[in-house]
Chains A and B, each alone.
Chain A
Amino acid sequence: MDIDDILADVDGDSTPQETRDLQALTRAWVAERVSPEILAYPEALLDRTVERIRRQIELVETQTGNMDPRTNFRLVIIQTELERFKFLVRSFLRARIAKGRGMVLLIRAGIHIQIDKHALHILTTPTVRARLSAPELQYLTQHHALQHAHFLASFLQNFPAQLQRLDDTAGGISMIDSPDLDAAVFVRVLRDVEEPLVIAGTNASVVLKRGDVWVVRYSVVSELVAEGHVELI
């Protein structure tokens, strides 16, 4: 449960929990689609949503036999919404997996291989690793193990021993590709932030006012995003 959920519970907002969850899920989806790194997994939110989707599917299944035209139209609406929710959840999870997988480019013409580097970054950085859900972590670990075994069997074994590693950091160049945290992102300010935003090394400084839209480096706002002061758009 993140801070927004807790605060929303405390102030007894009149908005129903379902609507707040839809808003939170939408925000999480957009953020995951645009942020350069993988974000924390909103476990409670996803559990609630998936459970509701399951119940709604059951409702549709039990009522489909009903031939009354009025009920039928209600079912059309419910199913339309169900599909929208399923899309949201699926796209959210897939966007996360895409970051985990990184890019596996096997250009067949020339053997030009960029190996699953993001996965290594995520698996070897404890703070990032903690953001994954259990199934995601399992998927990533196994996918990586399989891929490593495959590469080893198909060509790495023919290399000299010191060139066989996939996570080599020797020679000043790391094989572990980490996401570019300084990439420019579009953000919307949700709450006024008193401290002006300063980027070390440049003389840029801005005051974030609610409702403003800025293009900034992801690294300077990532904490504000996690705290819910700004959102990625």
Chain B
Amino acid sequence: MALPSPPGLTPLEIAFLCEMEMVTVVPRQRLEGLELLGGPTKPLHPPHRTSLPLWLALLLKRQRRANILPPPWFHPTALTSILDFERSNTDQFTPPPPLPPSPPGTATTSPPFLSSSTADAPDGALPYHWLELGEILLDAAPDDIVDPDAVRRLMRDLREVRMAKMRAGVAVLDGSGMVGLKGVGGMEVSEGRAFISGVVDGLRKIGASREQALREREAEEGDDAYEDIAENAGEMDL
């Protein structure tokens, strides 16, 4: 059976991805290591902290077999400073957490497998799945979070500030569709996808003939045509 949904992940699918993030848990019961399909898990020995995927941590939490240790960025003080950064830098998002070193040519990991939400994560950066993870933790483990009400309020503020930036970013969209969104979150991509790609595709179709003309001139003038094209494009914009 074919999948009926249009391109782009649905919010539920984003949440599914987010549940693969590693979080730190403090077990309350022993549990031997398991050979799971996604790799073995470490045995749980209370009260030693262990990193587990979020879905498993939630399962343990629900059965009161473990407590979840929220990541450092999910603390009222850290969120307040992130919110300050978001408010004072209107043209960019909070940078994502620094990436682990990766020599060129090796296999690369990316969210949700970056351990950006364990207890050792940096506190001044929002990971890719910040919104989903925050909502899930607030929902499933409010008793493990410092001042959940303040955190909930800060999350809402952050979300609004960032959504406003996404909306403001629409003004710079053009047919070439080169827009940088460093630091954007997974749920924000999902929300903005239909609109942003719709605008970019629409503008591209409107500008298709002009682009074709430029491309032909480029082919005629050969390799040194680059500057000319930049100038021409500048004039045509006027």
Contact = CB atoms under 8 A, between A and B. Distances in A.
Nearest to A205: B178
B106 A11 contact: yes
Interface string B1-21: 111100111000100110110
Contacts of A74: 31-32, 34
B176 A202 contact: yes
B37 A216 contact: no
B78 interface: no
Contact of B180 (A23, A82, A206): A206
Contacts of B229: 203
B212 A201 contact: yes
B38 A191 contact: no
A228 B108 CA distance: 9
Contacts of B26: none
B193 A186 contact: yes
A145 interface: no
A215 B38 contact: no
Interface string A2-34: 001001100101011011101100110010011
Contact of B184 (A91, A94, A213): A213
Among B32, B36, B112, B201, residue most surrounded by chain A Cβ atoms (within 10 Å): B36
A184 B174 CA distance: 11
B214 A201 contact: yes
A166 to B, nearest CB: 19
Chain B, interface size: which category?
A: 35 or more
B201 A211 contact: no
Interface of B is mostly: loop
A223 interface: no
Interface stretch (B81-89, B97-105, B140-148, B156-164): B97-105
Given A34-B9, A97-B3, A199 B40 contact: no
A200 B182 contact: no
A210 B110 CA distance: 10
A212 interface: yes
B99 A184 contact: no
A85 B53 CA distance: 14
Given A7-B106, A204-B178, A215-B179, A77 B200 contact: no
A19 B39 contact: yes
Contact of A215 (B13, B32, B197): B197
Contacts of A158: none
Given A185-B197, A206-B180, A78 B36 contact: yes
Given A33-B13, A80-B55, A211-B96, 18 more contacts: A8-B107, A16-B39, A33-B8, A34-B193, A80-B56, A87-B16, A91-B13, A98-B2, A184-B204, A186-B189, A188-B110, A200-B215, A203-B229, A213-B182, A213-B183, A215-B178, A215-B200, A217-B204
